Amino acid sequence: MSTESHGFNLREWIFTTDHKRIGVLYLIGSIAAFSVAGIQALMIRIEQSSLGPTLVHDVATGGNQYNVWLYFHGAAMILGFLIPGLTGFAANYFLPLMIGAKDVAFPRVNAFSVWLFYAGIVMALLTFVVGDPPDVMWTGYPPYSVLTSGNTAFYVFTVHLLGFASILGAVNFLVTVIYMRAPGMGWNQLNMFVWSTVTAFVIQLVFVPVLASAVTMLLFDKYLGTHFFDPANGGDVLLYQNLFWFYSHPAVYVILLPALGILYEVVATSAKNMIFNYKAAVYGGMWGIVLISGEVWIHHLYIAGMPNWIRIGMMVSTLLISVPVGLLTISLFGTLFRGAITYTIQMKYAAACLFLFLIGGLTGIPLAMTVMTTHLSETSFVHAHFHYIMGIFSTFAVFAAVYYWFPKMTGKLAGEKLGNLGFWFNFIGVNVTFMPLFIIGVQGMPRRYWNYEMFPQFEPFHKVALLGAILVAIGMGMTILNWVISAISGEKSPANPWKSASLEWTDCANPPGPGNFTKDVVIKPEWTPYNYV
Amino acid sequence: MWRNWILLGLATLALLCAVTPVHAKFYQHKESDVDPRVFRIDEQKYMGVKLDLDTALIDEEGQTRSFKEYVGKPTILIWSYFTCDGSCAAVNAELVNLLEKAKVGTVSGDVTVLTISFDAADTVETLKAFRTKLALPPSLSKGWRFALFKNPEQIKSITGSTGFKFFWAPQDQIFYHPNVFIFLTPDGRISRYLYALVNSPKDVSLALLEAKQGNFRINETLDLAISLCYSYNYKEGRYTVNIPLFVGVGSLMLGVSTLIGSVFFYRLRKNKGGMAK
């Protein structure tokens, strides 16, 4: 049963079963993880801005120190920010509103899920407290993760907690969408964001347990003396990489799909257009990704030992996934076509996302091809590619979501001046940071090197990248500050500031009260959430 | 009386003299025993190595052929020597046994077995004698080829390129060498080593599947699926069940079954709620 009270009550927030409050808790936790991960990113950029030790204490231990930053940055960004930010915050708050549901199917399970998420965040933050922090990237590859003196257990338990939280979330929302849609709401009347989260949750549900089992066996290898991944004792070291990427490549789509769903909401509302090719985008695009996402993981292992026929097969399936992704991209651009576009802050972020998506997508094609990956693998080209397609793209989508639904959550409008300024700092900053990494990646700059004295020619590029990172840090700071200031003292928002046709705007108060809707929602057959004609 | 003692002493001395060389030879033999680890092939170093396919060989008819003419399909290569009265014959016979049990009866069609002598002294005659002695069954005889090196100076380099080591022991008049089946892909790359006399038909089948490099027939789909359940265990030198893979696949069911359980629970609760109303 959802509860709501007047005024702030910490106990109520901790023990809340209201999906909207849980959504806000996810947002706060994920922004906290994002902030710490961002500081780590800045430290990484500073370290690489000059040859030799810059921030690390000394040459002998510099590698370990740098590895810890990489570990936290990667794990916190993916497991602590992007996945919970998109499927935790956005889905929790807005999915039930979009389908006309008064609550979620299992409110208590939902509450338990957010507690697990916070436990996972705390576990990850303990990295900075324990004597031997984990230094295994976010991948945890053996044999290093087994042999290192770092506490790999922290990594494993963080994955367990956040993974379990996401499985519970997935079950909850799938049941909610299946059974709790407003009377009369058909499958083809769902918001694109709802479809995108449904498909993302299907992927989560199927693949997360595989990652959980892989890291559990890693834990056994390190602490209980088993040899699952130890070839010297009959194990198979490459199997870990296979199991890890079997989940972790689909995890890219767990991030990508809801991010695209948010873009659809923002783009359709800002352009006042129907979704272009709705059915093709949903059934061909989103479900196409679900179908193929489990057959592409090998491209992360091209340079590991494997028969050529597997490499070639996986190259084909990896390239094939560009078909559903292409359907979604065409649909997004088509939705903008001849639209009366209003360039709000969220629309600026959405437009930036389309640009970032294009760069990230196009640079993914050479990485899908075996002959080119052999050259580009483990270079900063890969680093720049996945930051464009996953890191920045999805972060910008979360920012677009927060700006788009800010009036819904707070009843206030987010400040435009600081918001726009933050956007331009962020947009220029990320491109200044990562474009140079593409260039030096092609020229052979390896990933994950804290000291690259053997490649002094790349130093100027790293300095430019640092400049970009500083711009991003300023932009992010402005953005978060803008939210806080606007939430406290922002201008009161009209009921439907963006003139959206979606249920969360047309039938809910800002913010929605207990039970979400003031009257029962009944959907007519001709209704769509994008009825702008 | 003292003569008897002298005779006994001389006899003892003679016995000692006779026994000592035997004793010495016995221990000398023990000392010359070769540590088998010397012959262990560094598999990680040689896996994937492509053999020199232009190497000239002499076939059973005395004709010159290149290595290239023998490969082109999955191949099991055995380095042997044809005057060997020890392990070579046993190893080749063991492969016959394994292939028959593994039901790889179509050696001519799908697979080639190639026994090549690394002894420069071998001739077409010794080759033929070895083959006759092996008495291959009809199902295997067509695709089981025997050959010699045409240029003996290439023996060391070509066998060495597969990690294979051997040396002549004059005191024993034999070659010391490892007994290993080397599996080659159709383009002549090493895809697996299986040490002879410790393997099962299943290992041979799995190694042959690996050597096919994806060129499977429809009726081999099940074999391919089964082969995914195993991985090569370098410590034991054989294929073992891949437990982490089973754990991973099993865990795939966890999320789906949680969803099914939740749907069931939700419907049950809803029905109870409806009935209560």
pLDDT at B30 over 60: no
Residue B10 shares a structural domain with residue B131: no
- CA atoms within 13 A of residue A482's CA, in its CB half-sphere: 22
Within 8 A of A206 by CB-CB distance, chain B residues are 252, 255-256
Instruction: Assign A502 to helix, strand or coil.
Output: coil
The pLDDT of residue B27 is 47
Residue B27 shares a structural domain with residue B132: no
**Of A101, A102, A117, A122, nearest in space to A22 by CA:** A117
- Taking only the tens place, the pLDDT of each residue in A447-456 is 989 999 999 9
The pLDDT of residue A461 is 97
Question: CB distance from A210 to chain B under 8 Å?
Answer: yes
CB A291 within 8 A of CB A371: no
The pLDDT of residue A2 is 45
Tokens standing for residue A141: 């590859």
Within 8 A of A236 by CB-CB distance, chain B residues are 231, 242, 244
Residues written for chain B: 277
Domain stops at, among B221, B246, B261: B221
Q: Most A CBs within 10 Å: which of B210, B215, B232, B247, as the mutation test of the A interface?
A: B247
Residue B10 shares a structural domain with residue B120: no
**Residue B237 belongs to a domain:** no
- Rounded to 5 degrees, φ, ψ at B161 are -70, -10
Check residue A517 and report its DSSP letter. Answer: B
- Taking only the tens place, the pLDDT of each residue in A364-414 is 999 999 889 889 999 999 999 999 999 999 999 999 999 999 999 999 999
Report the distance separating Cα A107 and Cα A114, nearest Å: 11
Question: CB distance from B210 to chain A under 8 Å?
Answer: yes
Mean pLDDT calculated for residue range B238-245: 87
Number of H helices, E strands in chain B: 9, 11
The pLDDT of residue A422 is 97
The pLDDT of residue A106 is 94
| B255–A178 CB contact, under 8 Å | no
Question: CB distance from B214 to chain A under 8 Å?
Answer: yes
| B248–A243 CB contact, under 8 Å | yes
Question: CB distance from A243 to chain B under 8 Å?
Answer: yes
Within 8 A of B48 by CB-CB distance, chain A residues are 305
The pLDDT of residue A292 is 94
| A234–B270 CB contact, under 8 Å | no
Closest-CA residue of A relative to B255 is A205
Number of domains comprising chain B: 2
According to DSSP H, which parts of A49-151 are helical? Answer: 59-75, 83, 91-98, 107-125, 144-147
pLDDT at B276 over 80: no
**Residue B273 belongs to a domain:** no
- Taking only the tens place, the pLDDT of each residue in B148-192 is 999 999 999 999 999 999 988 888 888 999 999 999 999 999 999
- Taking only the tens place, the pLDDT of each residue in B122-160 is 999 999 999 999 989 888 888 899 999 999 999 999 999
- Taking only the tens place, the pLDDT of each residue in A69-117 is 998 999 899 989 999 999 999 999 999 999 999 999 999 999 999 999 9
Higher per-residue pLDDT: A3 or B232: B232
For chain B, give the percent of residues with pLDDT over 70: 84
Lowest-pLDDT choice from A19-23, A279-283, B2-6, B266-270: B2-6
The pLDDT of residue B29 is 46
pLDDT at B31 over 60: no
The pLDDT of residue A305 is 74
- Taking only the tens place, the pLDDT of each residue in B221-230 is 787 888 888 8
Residue B195 shares a structural domain with residue B157: yes
CB A465 within 8 A of CB A435: no
- Which of A172, A206, A233 is the closest to B235 by Cβ? A233
**Of B17, B36, B34, B25, nearest in space to B237 by CA:** B36
CB-based contacts of B223, cutoff 8 Å, min separation 6? B205, B209, B216
Report the distance separating Cα B265 and Cα A88, nearest Å: 23
Residue B50 shares a structural domain with residue B138: yes
- Print the domain residue range for B7: 2-33
- Which of A213, A233, A234 is the closest to B251 by Cβ? A213
Residue B86 shares a structural domain with residue B139: yes
- Taking only the tens place, the pLDDT of each residue in B72-86 is 889 999 999 999 877
Residue B141 shares a structural domain with residue B44: yes
Highest mean pLDDT of the ranges A170-184, A299-313, B21-35:
A170-184
**Residue B245 belongs to a domain:** no
pLDDT at A222 over 90: yes
Check residue B162 and report its DSSP letter. Answer: T
Confidence of residue A512 (pLDDT cuts 50, 70, 90): very high
- Which of B215, B248, B258 is the closest to A213 by Cβ? B248
Domain stops at, among B181, B199, B221: B221
Tokens standing for residue A484: 């806080």
Mean pLDDT calculated for residue range A55-64: 79
Residue B84 shares a structural domain with residue B215: yes
Confidence of residue B232 (pLDDT cuts 50, 70, 90): confident
Residue B26 shares a structural domain with residue B58: no
Residue B184 shares a structural domain with residue B81: yes
CA of B236 vs chain A CAs: smallest distance (Å):
7
| B259–A205 CB contact, under 8 Å | yes
CB A260 within 8 A of CB A162: no
Residue B16 shares a structural domain with residue B85: no
For Cα atoms A201, A206, A210, give the angle at the middle one, nearest 5 degrees.
125
Q: Which amino acid is at B7?
A: L
**Of A339, A424, A354, A432, nearest in space to A389 by CA:** A354
Question: CB distance from B220 to chain A under 8 Å?
Answer: no
Beta-strand (E) ranges in A366-515? 412-413, 491-492
Within 8 A of A310 by CB-CB distance, chain B residues are 214
- CA atoms within 13 A of residue A358's CA, in its CB half-sphere: 10
CB A175 within 8 A of CB A106: yes
**Residue B229 belongs to a domain:** no
For chain A, give the percent of residues with pLDDT over 70: 98
CB A392 within 8 A of CB A354: no
| A175–B259 CB contact, under 8 Å | yes
For chain B, give the percent of residues with pLDDT over 90: 37
The pLDDT of residue A311 is 87
The pLDDT of residue B17 is 53
- Taking only the tens place, the pLDDT of each residue in A460-485 is 999 999 999 999 999 999 999 999 99
Report the distance separating Cα A371 and Cα A529, nearest Å: 45
| A175–B248 CB contact, under 8 Å | no
Q: What is the ipTM of this complex?
A: 0.74
Mean pLDDT calculated for residue range B24-53: 73
The pLDDT of residue B11 is 63
**Residue B100 belongs to a domain:** yes
- The alpha carbon of residue A126 and the mean position of all alpha carbons in its chain are separated, in whole angstroms, by 22
Question: CB distance from A206 to chain B under 8 Å?
Answer: yes
Closest-CA residue of B relative to A166 is B255
Q: Most B CBs within 10 Å: which of A243, A246, A295, as the mutation test of the B interface?
A: A243
- Which of B213, B250, B252 is the closest to A206 by Cβ? B252
The pLDDT of residue A443 is 96
**Of B178, B211, B184, B210, nearest in space to B196 by CA:** B178
Instruction: Assign B176 to helix, strand or coil.
Output: strand
| A308–B214 CB contact, under 8 Å | yes
Domain architecture of chain A: domains with CATH = 18-506 (1.20.210.10)
**Of A329, A324, A302, nearest in space to A313 by CA:** A302
| B242–A236 CB contact, under 8 Å | yes
Mean pLDDT calculated for residue range B194-207: 85
Question: CB distance from B243 to chain A under 8 Å?
Answer: yes
In this structure, the strands spanning B238-241 and B230-233 are antiparallel
pLDDT at B20 over 60: no
For chain A, give the percent of residues with pLDDT over 90: 78
CA of A110 vs chain B CAs: smallest distance (Å):
13
pLDDT at A192 over 90: yes
The pLDDT of residue B101 is 85
| B231–A239 CB contact, under 8 Å | yes
- CATH number, domain at B166? 3.40.30.10
Instruction: Assign B64 to helix, strand or coil.
Output: strand
Mean pLDDT of chain A: 93
CA of B101 vs chain A CAs: smallest distance (Å):
25
Question: CB distance from A337 to chain B under 8 Å?
Answer: no
**Residue B49 belongs to a domain:** yes
Q: Most B CBs within 10 Å: which of A210, A308, A315, A316, as the mutation test of the B interface?
A: A210
Report the distance separating Cα A475 and Cα A468, nearest Å: 10
**Residue B189 belongs to a domain:** yes
Cis peptide before A407 (omega within 30 of 0): no
Beta-strand (E) ranges in B25-88? 56-58, 64-66, 75-80
CA distances from A196 to A190, A259, A335, A527, B66 (A): 10, 8, 16, 20, 59
Question: CB distance from B228 to chain A under 8 Å?
Answer: no
**Residue B110 belongs to a domain:** yes
The pLDDT of residue B251 is 86
Residue B100 shares a structural domain with residue B129: yes
Mean pLDDT of chain B: 83
Interface of B with A in 43-72 (CB under 8 A): 47-48
